[in-house]
Structure 1
Amino acid sequence: MQEKKFEFTTNVILIPFLFLLGMWSVYYLNWRYFLELNEFGIYPRTLEGLRGVLFSPFLHGSISHISNNSIAIIVLLSILYFFYKEDFWKVLLFGWLFSGLGTWLIGRESFHIGASGIIYVLTSFIFFAGMRTKYFRLMALSFFVVLIYGGSIWYLFPDVEEGISWEGHLAGFLTGIVLAFTLEKRQYEPIYKYDWQHPDFDASEDKFMKHFDENGNFNPKPKNYIELNKPKRSISYLEYSMIYSGKVTYEFNSYSCNFELQIESPYLEFLP
């Protein structure tokens, strides 16, 4: 698991811009030359209506309709590419396809147009995918999306506003949820500023933590402190040659040829 670094590239702005350019170009041609392109929208449960799965996101009925969708598209597509670059095309293309097919299956017998289905795909995917990763930055992003688009949840239900394709909204929202839980879960590691924040931190091996006793009391040790984990018995000179720099005296016994060790230090002690 590696630390995740989000990098800004020109595609963060370029791709949403190209999408908007297509939306506004089609809207201008439809308005300027009366091409009646709205008939290329999704018409549920008819073979001819399937073409709307591809074309409906570029079709809009009024200037307010396309304006509202444009703001959401540029914000959400930019967020998706910046934070979920690895899944961007999967979310966009599969979301486009399945939200359209869902509208075709459950929609009323009318032409369903607009990019709202894709907008609901992006909204639900960003929210649920962020909560699923449990990565603090993406979870914060999820709550940001709720803050600015949470009110749109009401347009998933029928009869909230006349002329609104709630079926398209619902199909897009459900598609986003499915994508959030079926695409590969991304693993992100937070930035650790201190050693003790790492999951594999071992306090027993930390030099500073060794200054605390078993009861959690701060008991600093001298710089040259040596722990003796020897059983209590006689120690010969050859067995232990490196000793804490304290007062050490040796008493020579001519019969047994043993050295007896006497150390004056409150920090050196023989453990039973």
Structure 2
Amino acid sequence: MQTVERRPAWQQAALLTGGFVLLLWVLEIFDAASGHPLDEYGVQPRSEDGLLGVVLAPMLHFGFDHLVSNTVPVLVLGFLTLATGIARGLVATAVIWVVGGLGVWLFAQPGSTHAGASVLIFGWIVFLVVRGFLNRHTTEILIGVAVFLLYSGALLGVLPGQPGVSWQGHLFGAIGGFLAARLLTTRVRSESRITY
């Protein structure tokens, strides 16, 4: 009987993240070549059709400039989210994806359409910064500090002000990242003890 060797987590993380970015590019190439029919599948706040965007929006972009600006952060932050635990990273991504999408659907201005992987980017930033401190894990704290130093300026994107940018997607992605870090805390909490 042959034993199948599993790839190290960092290799799996690289393959998954690279595959996801490849998917983003294939979708945008198709969208551009066919007259941008996918653009309408973003999150459309409080519309029944717009709920489909909760699932699809992080994979769709409004042109190549939008996708190019998200590509490197997705590669870096997606890899770091998965590299210290594939299952935990995938669950964190799912929480960010759903919380970010539903937050936009519930609270963004009606008549707008929101798409782009930045909902994941903002969620991953917050997840990576917060999880190490919650877990009290040295490697994760160092990763979080490095991510904060690299991307702290981007966190201002959760504030309204830049036309055409979904600050709601950024804000609710970040909230999803915080919730994911809280839900996936692995540190064993000591029970409270009262002495008399």
Q: Is TM (by shorter chain) over 0.5?
A: yes
CA distance in 1, matches of 2:73, 2:187: 25
- How big is the shift at 1:186? 3.9
CA distance in 2, matches of 1:86, 1:32: 35
| 1:71-97 Cα deviation digits (max 9, x unpaired) | 111111111111233411211112211
4+ long deviations beyond 4 Å? none
| 1:67-122 Cα deviation digits (max 9, x unpaired) | 12111111111111112334112111122112111110111220001011111111
Equivalent in the alignment of 2:69: 68
Let me know the Cα RMSD of the aligned residues. Answer: 1.4
CA distance in 1, matches of 2:10, 2:127: 22
User: Which runs of structure 2 are paired with 1:178-257 in the superposition (5 Å)?
Assistant: 178-186=179-187
CA distance in 1, matches of 2:100, 2:84: 22
Per the normalisation by structure 2, the TM-score is: 0.87
Structure 2 contact 131–181 (Cα < 8 Å) conserved: yes
- How big is the shift at 1:22? 1.2
User: Which runs of structure 2 are paired with 1:126-141 in the superposition (5 Å)?
Assistant: 126-141=128-143
CA distance in 2, matches of 1:138, 1:93: 20
Equivalent in the alignment of 2:3: none
Equivalent in the alignment of 1:39: 40
- How big is the shift at 1:8? 4.4
Higher RCO, Cα 8 Å, sep 6+: 2
Residue 30 of structure 1 aligns with an amino acid whose one-letter code is: D
Equivalent in the alignment of 1:78: 79
User: Which runs of structure 2 are paired with 1:92-103 in the superposition (5 Å)?
Assistant: 92-103=93-104
- How big is the shift at 1:35? 3.9
Equivalent in the alignment of 1:116: 118
Structure 1's unaligned 5+ residue stretches are 1-6, 188-272
In structure 2, do the counterparts of structure 1 residues 178 and 8 end up closer, same or farther at CA, with 3 Å as the change threshold? closer
- How big is the shift at 1:9? 4.2
Equivalent in the alignment of 1:170: 171
SS of corresponding position for 2:102: helix
CA distance in 2, matches of 1:35, 1:67: 17
Per the normalisation by structure 1, the TM-score is: 0.63
CA distance in 2, matches of 1:139, 1:154: 22
Matched residue count? 180
Equivalent in the alignment of 2:13: 12
- How big is the shift at 1:29? 0.8
Structure that is richer in helix per residue? 2
Residue 62 of structure 1 aligns with an amino acid whose one-letter code is: G
CA distance in 2, matches of 1:23, 1:84: 23
Share of identical aligned residues, percent?
28
CA distance in 1, matches of 2:140, 2:95: 22
- How big is the shift at 1:149? 0.7
CA distance in 2, matches of 1:81, 1:144: 16
- How big is the shift at 1:131? 1.4
Equivalent in the alignment of 1:147: 149
Structure 2 contact 123–177 (Cα < 8 Å) conserved: yes
Structure 2 contact 9–85 (Cα < 8 Å) conserved: no
- How big is the shift at 1:139? 1.0
Structure that is richer in strand per residue? 1
CA distance in 2, matches of 1:39, 1:28: 16
- How big is the shift at 1:175? 0.9
